[in-house]
Amino acid sequence: MKVKIRSLSIGLLIGALCMTSCTVVWLFFVARSFLKMSQDVENYVRLQDDVRRIGKASDFLTDSARQFVVTKNIRFMKGYFDEVNERKNRENSLGDIMECVGSELEDSVGLLAAALGNSNDLIIYEVHAMKLAAISAGIPESEYPAEVAAFVIPAEEVSLPEKEKLALAYKLVFDEHYANEKERIMSRLEMAMMRILDRYKRLHDASWRDFRDSLLKQGVFVAIMLALVLSAFILIEKLILRPIMVFMKCIREQTEIELAGAVEFRYLAAVYNRMFLSNNAAKAKLKFEAEHDSLTGILNRGAFESLVKEHCGSGEIVGLLLLDVDKFKKINDMHGHEMGDAALKRLADMMTRYFRDGDYPVRYGGDEFAVLLTEIPDSPDGIGSAIKAVREKIDDINAELLVASADCPVPFSVSVGAAFSKNGAGGRLFSNADIALYKMKSAGRCGVMFSDEIL
């Protein structure tokens, strides 16, 4: 069958126009999917910032009230009411969240509103405490903010001695009831954040699937167009077909796409690469959060158990340290949970600084920490040298912990139980370290005790 060049050219042109039109349409879908994903990410970041701002504002009010009770410095009281009456970070953040989500996340908005209500309930305790502290310090009433001046102290408290008034002020903002209310606020904020994260993760996954499908269909249309015009346009192989093959390979192998070929494909590759990197970053963040303790930033119990399995029966020399903060409950009871958290953060930071890159500091739970020691030389003096190094490190850590710091003004110490094995982790290694820790606590705390048995 004879085909005229003109007819072939017209046919190729029509086919090329049709396929080009389809390509443009699918390019629109790809761009729309990308914009949808970007909007979801922006909304999530905005909501996350607003939720955190509510928590920070609540903590600011607590800190200001407590600092005034402790220091009697009037600027803390003024800063407190600047936040309540002027900045209004809590109310403004909740308003932003309601405007952003509308009726889509009513349960999360309800939790945030409840948290704000709890925070407002605490204002009564805080104003009460600040007025008692102000009276006990002899601050003239003319310097009181209007809210404090208007607050009526119960008659039975008016006649109390100044010291008892101050003690009552301390109790109002440092006792267990107050701490429980604060914990309830933080719990509701965290629960709301988890629900928001769950919703936007599902939106992100759906948008990613749409984007991937659109990109794959785009490749199919371009491939058909290449088949139609291959005989007339040799350069298409270089500008379109080869880049498409590279794109498909990179998608299958989950790697970045090289920017090559025609401008349209460079644009698609750039869009894909941005989303690919964003998706990898999100996965890495989720993985990090799953393996690390949110308070201290070091490995958590789940990651520790994975490490133990990895080194179990490996035939290498390993050591295990179990650390407990001495009298941690007393720190919480006397100074509040914030100070307890500061102590845990300080210890975790020191563990990271003092131990080697081949060691694994872990927050096992509560005030319990652990360190898995690896890369111990397999030599006659390997374990002996490790024992000496561990003893020096623990002594140095305790020496530093017993000196107050700016971040944690409460001095404390740790007790440590240590055990070693020549056949990897597992077996009785944990129980031996635990027994050594018990002996150390019985011997007076603030030090390290080593198990006599080397597995």
Residue range 88-123, pLDDT digits in tens: 888 888 788 777 775 667 777 788 888 888 888 888
The CATH number linked to 394 is 3.30.70.270
- Average the pLDDT over 2-29 and give the result: 61
Confidence (pTM): 0.42
Contact in structure between 122 and 182 (CB atoms under 8 Å): yes
Radius of gyration of the chain (CA): 32
Residue 259 inside a domain? The answer is: yes
Boundary of a domain, candidates 283, 315, 350 = 283
Q: Are residues 279 and 308 in the same domain?
A: no
The predicted pLDDT at position 1 comes to 41
Q: Are residues 153 and 267 in the same domain?
A: no
Q: Are residues 43 and 183 in the same domain?
A: yes
Q: Are residues 115 and 83 in the same domain?
A: yes
Residue ranges making up the domain that contains 409: 301-454
Q: Are residues 305 and 279 in the same domain?
A: no
Q: Are residues 320 and 426 in the same domain?
A: yes
Q: Which amino acid is at 442?
A: S
Residue 373 β-bridge partners:
319
DSSP secondary structure of 268-329: HHHHHHHHHHHHHHHHHHHHHHHHB-TTT-SB-HHHHHHHHHHHBT-SS-EEEEEEEETTHH
Boundary of a domain, candidates 145, 172, 199 = 199
Residue 393 inside a domain? The answer is: yes
Residue 355 inside a domain? The answer is: yes
pLDDT tens by residue, 297-338: 888 888 888 888 887 776 788 889 999 998 888 888 888 888
Q: How many CB atoms lie within 10 A of CB 7?
A: 10
Q: Are residues 337 and 429 in the same domain?
A: yes
Q: Are residues 249 and 126 in the same domain?
A: no
* Inter-residue long-range contacts of 83-89, CB under 8 Å, 24+ positions, other chains counted: 83/57, 84/123, 84/147, 87/57, 89/53, 89/54, 89/56, 89/57, 89/60
Residue for token pair 């042109």: 13
Q: Provide the domain count of the chain.
A: 3
Residue 138 inside a domain? The answer is: yes
